[in-house]
Structure 1
Amino acid sequence: MYKIVIVDDEKNIRLGIQAMINREFADKIKTFVAMNGEEALQVLNENDIDIVITDIKMPGMSGIELIHHIQDKGYNPALIILSGYDDFQYAKEAIKCKVKDYLLKPINRAELFQTINKILNEFVSTSLKEDQQKSEFRSSQLNNILLNPNIGEDEIQRISEKLHLSQFSEGYYIGLIKSNEALTANEYIDSIKPLIERHFSKEMSSFIYFCDKDDNIVFILSQIEVFHYLKKVISEEKYIKCRLSISEKHMKLKKLKEAYNQATYTWKYHFLYPRSILISYEEIKEKTMSVELPLDLIHKVSNMIGTEREKELRLHLLSIFDYERISSQPIMYIEDLSKRFNTDVFDYFFNKLGKESIQIFKYYNKVGYIYHYEHFYDYFYAVEDLVTRLHEYVKQVKTVYSEQKYMEKAIAYIHENFHKDLNLAVVSNYISLNYSYFSHTFKEYTGHNFVDYLKKIRIKESKKLLKESDHKVLEISEMVGYKNPKQFARVFRELEGISPKEFRES
């Protein structure tokens, strides 16, 4: 409740103003009255006065002198001046003293209420700004504790005392809330703040919360029951989706960073236990690594990619990423398993296949980090999908590579034997490929069917002989594989537009 003192040497005026304020602001303002400046100062000494309403002209200490005394003593109430029409010089002096308003007698009720409401609204706004500034300062200091790798426990203790965290001196927990939705921590706080204030109005002093660098909402709580209740309330609010984790109890504020690390470490277990809304450090701290990574199976998967062993490949994947085994281990196990699988399978093939595989490995940017996924099965299905894509791609590359070797062999044979009686059947038999398959593949590889390709090779060689040798056209015809000179002349004209003789003479 705000407090106002009304200072006026005329009893009727001060009591009249008091009555008006009491009726209008009964639930907001407590009023005091003083007949002069000395009484007013005594009221200010004994009470935290928010607003002073004072007459300017009074016996003894004037209103202006009162204002100077108030400011000299370090008090900072809002000031309202009352004056008659003939006190203009006093009014000018009062304005220099940063009074909020200057009201003329007789007092207009509406003007008085308007002035008081304006001041009260300023109080609220200022209070909110101060609270916001305090909150931002506290958040920055706490984040400094959490983020600074070199900060010591003594410095943490000093900062904690500076932030007045005495409510946690008998023990505290660090809780973490992370939204499942595409919201920043500040946006998420805005969404749950009404919920918190509605359900924890009496317990608000027993915890504080702020945002960390990873957009988590961090709670410092003196009672773990508050967080359990918060879990219950949030789980019942269908429009709010989030997960929670909490540290074990710590007794010393210098252990804040350790408690925070416990909460962030614990939160990772939501990856393995997606149905749990709240996971506590107490539940998982005893987990120890009891099995080794299945390196032999990872090696086999790497070897099987691109082969005809699809069924075995899938069975090995299921065995490597067996949920029962993984969920029985500490979270580091799946982290290490994922890193090793990335190195031995995905990185290996990416380096081996190079830029040509970029379309496949664009999926790797997400699959390469398990916490890109809300829970284990989402991650596993993504790994399985990428392995399948990679498997099919490697098979395709092997087929193309094999075809390329066959085609290179066929083309070399054609270049060496174009002068002989050569046809598609002879070449396909030479490289041991089906006649039809070879015909189709040869055209895809060279861009020409076999007959046209052979014509180009033969005519190219004949042009060289026509220009560089003295052989007759008939002889050159035979030398490039045409027993019939007329056929040679027809093919030459077909490709070059002139006869062999015209070409030689040109």
Structure 2
Amino acid sequence: MLKLLIVDDEPMIREGIRRVAGLHCPAYGTVYEAADGDEALTTAMNQMPDVIITDIQMPRLGGIEFIRQLRAENPEIVVLIISGYDDFEYAQNALKLGVKDYLLKPVDSADLAERLNAIARELGRRRVFLQDMEEMQQKVREGMALFRERFLRQLIGGSVPEERIAEQARAVECRVDGAYYGVAIVELAGRREADSRFSETLAAAIAEQLAKRPAPGVEEVHALFSSDYELVLILGSNRSSREGSFKDFHRYLTDLGIALQKQAGMEAAISAGNVHPGPPGIHRSHQEAQEAKLYHFTAHSQPIIHYEEIAGARRIPGDQTADAMFRRLVMHVKLQEQEAALAALSEIVDYFASSPGTNPYWVKLKLMELAGALLHLLEEWGINAAVFFAGQENNPYVTIHNAKGLAELSDWMSGFLQSCQEEIAKVRMNKSAGYIEKAKAYLETAIADSQLSIADVASRLFLNPNYLRQLFRQQTGESFVEYVTRLRMERALELLKDPTLKIQDVAEKVGFEEQRYFSSCFKKFYQFTPTEYRESIR
């Protein structure tokens, strides 16, 4: 069972949160309370809660400083802030301190329960997630699956025993007797759908014919397609040195890339393995070419990548920089700062693009984490994220996994981010309208109170008066004062129809202590006095 610590200087708020947790959040077995940051820090150090809900403005030690000191001792505790202050500086400080969420009062009970339950589920999944991450990182180290088809596919796949290579090559009339070999993977791109000439059959025919052209020093060229637009080349040489063979292979691949572009309108991303002695080295070179191919994901402007170029640069950087960028982006989404969120996404893409030696599997894993964070945010707002999983073509995780390049993925992530922001904006607008309806309902019952103010209504809704004033203008097109004045005048108009009520009685029933002031306001609103109105309806 999880342990929860509630920190707020208002006993009623603490009791309300405790009641929500007790009734709707079964994962939380123990609930502690603290009235200020000092008490909360002592309780947190002694009881080690899993989740803390804290206010910001509290006596003695405020929420932000409490979190800062807590993080120094235990950075793993999940912290949520519940505050009536819709202030970017507070949110920014919370972001820097790794706060899980920043909720504005009043917090809907169902919403709070859902968020607490979501955190409980997330904590429960954390161990499984770490195990899944380890498995995916293992796949990064192991590389891609090997091709297994016919002799050449078996050869590059390493399934042909070394002592049987020559025998099987003769059986299929395939020359494999060079002194040195290298394998290259040529990924074709370009016109495809945009040019009707670029059919699969024509692409294969053009690429194979260009690839098999004779070239100085390259005595063997075996070409086969591993997919519609991916050509695997096995290059053989009888040069006396590995260096000489490498030079010939590089010149051949450079000329092939140029020929594909000029003669067929195809762009080619070429990944080359190292040069190895004899046919047994083909399998190893193919593995290296596969690994080099991954690095086109970020180094998309580089036409040829040799394994040797990335062998010393392969790395998985620390997560801190990317994670900080992700938190900023998510916070911008929460604050409805759409342009800032898109700019943050652009910054993330630029960060990945500026590090072409970074392991591409790591880049995809981090982008999957970001997509997961955005989907989780949708769930927190009560939005059904199933729309993003309607078929594999819409599944964010499948899309990220299948992406061929960072530029392509950047466009998709931008659209995905905008869709998430649009869904949240719809829900937020509906929630704002709900606040105004509650305010109107309260005003209907409190209209006789001559001291009625926006502060009174805001306190009933646990909102900042300035925020409520802004919502009133947005939702009704009137200021709070204009709305209350109109409500009082319309109510007075109805009451004046009752001849048994004195004008002083009507004034008091709509919040005016003095009849003279009421009559003045009534005339200013309707252009006639209460007495004149009564005479007109007799």
TM-score, normalised with respect to structure 2: 0.45
Higher relative contact order (CA 8 A, sep 6+): 2
Look at both structures and tell me which one has the larger radius of gyration over its CA atoms.
1
